[in-house]
Amino acid sequence: MINLIACVTTFKNRLAIGRNCDLLFKLKDDLQFFKNITKDSLSKNSKLDKNVVLMGRKTWFSIPQKYRPLNNRINLVLTNDRQLITPIPKNLDLSKSNSYFITMETFWKIYDKYTPNVFVIGGSGIYNYFLSNRSEAFIDRIYLTEVKTENGNNVKFDKENEPDTFMDNPDSTFKLIGYSEKYYQDNLSYRILTYKNTGKESEEKKYLDYMKYILDNGNARDDRTGTGTISVFGNQMRFDISQSIPLMTTKRVPFKTIVLELLWMLRGDTDAKILERKGIKIWSGNTSREFLDSRGLEHYEEGILGAGYGFQYRHFGANYSQTFGDTSKIDTGLIGGIDQLKYVEDLLKNDPFSRRIMISAWNPSDFKKTALVPCHYSIQFYVTEEKGERYLSCMFIMRSSDVFLAANFNVIFYTILTYILAKKYNMRPKEVIYISGDGHIYQNHISQVKEQLTRTRRPFPKLKLDDSIITKQWNEITEDDFELIGYHPNEAIKAPMAI
């Protein structure tokens, strides 16, 4: 077994591991974990009675002299400096010492003879060798201590203390299989993440194959926005959400924005200025003064969506008024209509195997009362039972899907909703299914799509919900109730939204 172990933080979209040949952080629980796992996790296949810690010369000399070699472990130090190399008998007997300076060629001879449990502990060149030379270097597991600020943001550094040493990201054949409790120290928080090499690519390939299919087979069409699209009709993507969430890694997707839009809709809000005050402007174009006037909604204040998603979810069939835009300012019990979200909750609680656990945002009688007719218009939930445990899946249908900007956004939107409902009703999330009618790429997104198709996929993250969600009302849930764990995507790709 070959394992990588590192303490990292995200800096300028890279995994930073050090500065000036030293660690960025010295964290008590991380150092204890490092000591325990490198000493005690012996492999039954190893012909050695100790684990191997493999490192580069700079890493060796960065360890304080009083701690070298790391005790109860065989320390192998890779170097090309012939003057440092330790003479080893031809039979590769390692019983004379706990530390050896060797070449990579010698390491592989040792590995072939003893099949030891190896922990690669740095530096960046050694990490990246094992991450990139996958045909000869099979990594079984990666242990990453992911460091953030106390409130979960990326760590900021003074200019003179910025990291200068980085490691490559694992590709998507590694799956995030577990994480530790959250530790706190020195205004920082951190979790220890465990990745397993499955040898299989992640389901992100489904997104990329769909975009490539549209480019290769789509029809050029005019559209409502006047931008022009390449379009196909009638496609499905299924994603396993039981262990991770299918958040794209070939470009950064704004997870917090998805959470806040979802909560906005689930409360029944229809005033986009609520989102704008949090820095989210995804609805600003479709609720601008100019756009509202073009829809014959001159009487709406700027920012008002009208009888759209949130209103249909919580008050289907009621008469809409723009005074309902911010539900925190009104008694929603007086609005009336059918609360479809409550209807779904009642069925999940009392009749979970019903075939009617659905929400519809498609209400033609209200089309003239909304700035934008819903794109994702039908949601259905499905419960299965296996070995006494219940699992919740969600299928949603798009009449129109902007595949580059919005498809993944929508998938994660309904993934989070499925997680919330599963949490509330003692189930486990299982699958989310995306179905599109008109799936399209806008003409002014083609170069961005082609760039994304060249990028390497990385492991999907996990989503953790706070237990308080179980008893919270929808208007009490906040973005702080959600933690995204292990999300290390490629950088964002910007593209204009068609209005």
Mind telling me the catalytic residues? 375
Residues 6+ apart with CB under 8 A from 361: 308, 309, 312, 313, 374, 376, 377, 378
Q: Strands of 219-312 (E only): list them.
A: 219-221, 229-240
Query: C-alpha angle with apex 34: 31 to 40, nearest 5 degrees?
Result: 135
Q: Classify residue 224 by burial, with Cβ atoms within 10 Å: 0-12, 13-18, 19+.
A: exposed
Contact call for residues 354 and 347 (beta carbons, < 8 A) = yes
- The CA distance from 179 to 148, in Å, is 14
DSSP structural state of residue 405: T
Q: What token pair was written down for 303? A: 């920012």
- Residue 184 phi/psi, 5-degree rounding, is -130, 140
The single residue listed with the structure tokens 């014959």 is: 296
- The CA distance from 164 to 220, in Å, is 47
User: Which H helix or E strand runs over 237?
Assistant: strand 229-240
Q: What token pair was written down for 330? A: 């009104």
Q: What token pair was written down for 232? A: 């196909």
Residues 6+ apart with CB under 8 A from 393: 381, 382, 383, 384, 418, 429, 430, 431, 432, 433
The single residue listed with the structure tokens 């660690």 is: 23
Q: Strands of 387-480 (E only): list them.
A: 389-402, 428-442, 462-465
What amino acid occupies position 141?
R
